[in-house]
């Protein structure tokens, strides 16, 4: 019972924090606007949205901001000092696409004033790990997002030493919601009894039933979990369980439980909040939120052929073999 009350309290607090951000978003638009409905009466969330405006927002809030969720004009001025011209360079005449080129990243302007993606706890920080989780070791090749794999010094003995993102397998949930340097589009398509989501990055798709069916049997595990949706007023609430230890978010795997909330706050804005609830990993639930915006440039999501263009995988492994040969030659001389 205490556990259930703790979870409920955490979700209530998360909802309060989210409501504050949503209210501010609504105040910036037309107060008389009403969420349009589909022909069968559900709030219409359909369209292509992008979180490009939130590129660069840290997941956790820098400590110096305390509980300040949104930057002031003075904060923005200080933050942008020394960034005139941006941090991207234009390609020279003899260059093709490189990861730090302006043509690769595209439009990244209109930066958000938010200080963190985390909205609960109020300090914008991820809660502490449990004693059990502090001792937990993430197996090689299971990490999601920018963790492990090519973001370490190796060793890179084979593909399995690289994380799931490096290998173009999945960004996983909830990591796929984190805005990255490019390809932040996601598309929502609705029917009477289901909602479909397509993510631009790695071209992943989800089907979310709305018909009240139960979750899959606990023995059935999925990289993106098992989603079940319902409507609470104007908000689509999605419960996600049945994750697998083959894909680990921070230190959470099969015990991960997510509650996603999709709310359209004006004609061009959709918020997605995600509450992470895993009592074996964190001392309390916590919530982050991203803001999707309509953008004329995102009229369609094109295929992200990650595997076909994953030259980095080959280069990482061939580089590791070349270093081994060099080290062996040096040792032989000695």
Structure tokens at 236: 């689509």
Look at residues 301, 316, 289 and name the one whose alpha carbon lies nearest to residue 70.
Answer: 289
In terms of Cβ atoms closer than 10 Å to its own Cβ (0-12, 13-18, 19+), residue 88 is: middle
DSSP state of 175: G
Domain count, the chain: 1
Residue 95 forms part of a structural domain: no
Per-residue confidence of the chain (334 residues) as pLDDT tens digits? 444 444 444 544 444 445 455 545 444 444 689 999 999 999 999 999 999 999 889 999 999 999 999 988 887 777 666 554 444 444 444 434 444 444 444 444 567 889 999 999 999 999 999 999 999 998 888 888 767 777 777 788 888 888 888 888 898 999 999 998 888 999 999 999 999 999 998 889 999 999 999 999 999 999 999 999 999 999 999 999 999 999 999 999 999 999 999 999 999 999 999 999 999 999 999 999 999 999 777 678 888 888 888 888 889 899 989 988 998 999 888 7
Residue 66 forms part of a structural domain: no
Residue 71 forms part of a structural domain: no
Residue 127 forms part of a structural domain: no
In terms of Cβ atoms closer than 10 Å to its own Cβ (0-12, 13-18, 19+), residue 176 is: buried
Residue 50 forms part of a structural domain: yes
Rounded CA Rg of the chain:
21
Residue 206 forms part of a structural domain: yes
**Angle, alpha carbons 58-63-69 (nearest 5°):** 60
Domain of 265, CATH number, reads 2.40.128.20
Q: What pLDDT sits at residue 97?
A: 40
Structure tokens at 274: 């995600």
**Residue 128's Cα: distance from chain center in Å?**
20
| Cα 190 from Cα 208, distance rounded (Å) | 10
| Cα 219 from Cα 254, distance rounded (Å) | 10
Size (the chain), residues: 334
Domain encompassing residue 260? 2-54+136-333
Do the Cβ atoms of 118 and 61 come closer than 8 Å? yes
| Cα 208 from Cα 196, distance rounded (Å) | 6
Residue 42 forms part of a structural domain: yes
| Cα 89 from Cα 94, distance rounded (Å) | 14
Q: Which residues contact 314 (CB under 8 A, 6 or more apart)?
A: none
Q: What pLDDT sits at residue 20?
A: 53
Residue 123 forms part of a structural domain: no
Structure tokens at 19: 């409501």
CA atoms within 13 A on the CB side of 277: 21
Do the Cβ atoms of 251 and 136 come closer than 8 Å? yes
Residue 116: CB atoms within 10 Å: 20
Q: Which residues contact 168 (CB under 8 A, 6 or more apart)?
A: 202, 306, 307, 310, 313
């Amino acid at each position: 019972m205490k556990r259930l009350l703790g979870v409920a309290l955490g979700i209530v607090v998360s909802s309060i924090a989210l409501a504050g951000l949503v209210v501010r978003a609504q105040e910036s638009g037309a107060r008389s606007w009403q969420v349009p409905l589909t022909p069968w009466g559900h709030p219409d969330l359909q369209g292509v949205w992008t979180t490009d405006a939130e590129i660069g927002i840290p997941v956790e809030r820098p400590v110096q901001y305390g509980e300040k969720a949104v930057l002031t004009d003075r904060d923005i001025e200080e933050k942008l000092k020394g960034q005139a011209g941006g941090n991207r360079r234009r390609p020279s005449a003899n260059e093709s696409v490189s990861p730090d080129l302006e043509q690769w990243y595209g439009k990244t302007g209109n930066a958000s004033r938010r200080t963190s993606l985390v909205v609960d706890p109020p300090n914008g920080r991820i809660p502490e790990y449990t004693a059990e989780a502090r001792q937990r070791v993430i197996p090689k090749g299971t990490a999601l997002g920018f963790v492990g794999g090519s973001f370490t010094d190796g060793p890179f003995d084979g593909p399995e030493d690289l994380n799931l993102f490096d290998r173009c397998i999945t960004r996983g949930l909830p990591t796929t919601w984190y805005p990255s340097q490019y390809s932040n589009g996601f598309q929502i398509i609705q029917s009477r009894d289901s909602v479909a989501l397509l993510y631009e990055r790695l071209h992943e798709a989800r089907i979310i039933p709305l018909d009240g069916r139960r979750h899959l049997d606990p023995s059935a595990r999925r990289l993106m979990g098992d989603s079940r949706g319902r409507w609470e007023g104007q908000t689509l609430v999605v419960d996600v369980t049945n994750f697998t230890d083959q894909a680990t978010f921070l230190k959470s795997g099969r015990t991960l439980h997510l509650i996603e909330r999709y709310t359209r706050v004006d004609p061009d804005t959709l918020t997605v909040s995600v509450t992470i609830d895993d009592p074996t990993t964190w001392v309390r639930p916590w919530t982050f939120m991203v803001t999707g915006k309509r953008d004329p440039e995102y009229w369609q999501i094109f295929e992200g052929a990650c595997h076909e263009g994953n030259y980095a995988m080959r280069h990482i492994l061939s580089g590791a073999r070349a270093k081994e040969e060099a080290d062996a030659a040096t040792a032989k001389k000695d």
